[in-house]
Amino acid sequence: MSTFNFIASDTQLPEVDLTNVKRMTVKELKKLNPQARSPVPLDELDENLEVLYCESEEDMKGLTVSFCNNPPYNLDYHIKKKYVYWLRYDFTEKSTEQLMEYLQKNIKEIQQVEVWAITFGNKDDIYKVKDKRKIKLLDLTKGDLIELNSQGICIQISY
């Protein structure tokens, strides 16, 4: 079983990547950091091969919101909004603050956004949403967002 997080809206939302992961060629990486750790030694890789690189593990823990163009099977059972986005959110202080800022910046007066934590993999679990609540944006707390670490939650946030 796997739990995934989503943001859904009837209007488009901006995609963001607040990680510090960079896409570059092996040749560029060797110039930037010749001592970079890699599962395969850099000298054994094609210099034109594109790789992902970050300075530290902490750099990977930023918030990402990306359009869900390949949704899990039966996602539409729960989410009825027109636009659905993958939400990569690590439940750290940093990413919680980033998600809070993202929501405050992007929720408009006429809009309601849903933030979901849904478990897939067990056919019985997909049909269970244990907690669905409505919260005004002004009343939203970091604690509400951290609760998304549980399974089967939907928070409907409105302006």
**What's the number of domains the chain is made of?**
2
Sign of CA dihedral 40, 42, 48, 50: positive
pLDDT of residue 74: 81
Q: Concatenated DSSP letters for 78-119?
A: T--SSEEEEEE---SHHHHHHHHHHHHHH--TT-EEEEEEEE
Q: Based on the fold, state whether residues 13 and 26 are members of the same structural domain.
A: no
Question: Average per-residue pLDDT in the chain?
Answer: 87
pLDDT of residue 149: 83
3-class SS of residue 4: strand
Q: Based on the fold, state whether residues 43 and 8 are members of the same structural domain.
A: no
Residues in the chain, pLDDT under 70 = 122-129
**Which pTM was predicted?**
0.79
Q: For residue 138, give its domain range.
A: 2-19+57-158
The distance from CA 135 to its chain's CA centroid, rounded to whole angstroms, is 20
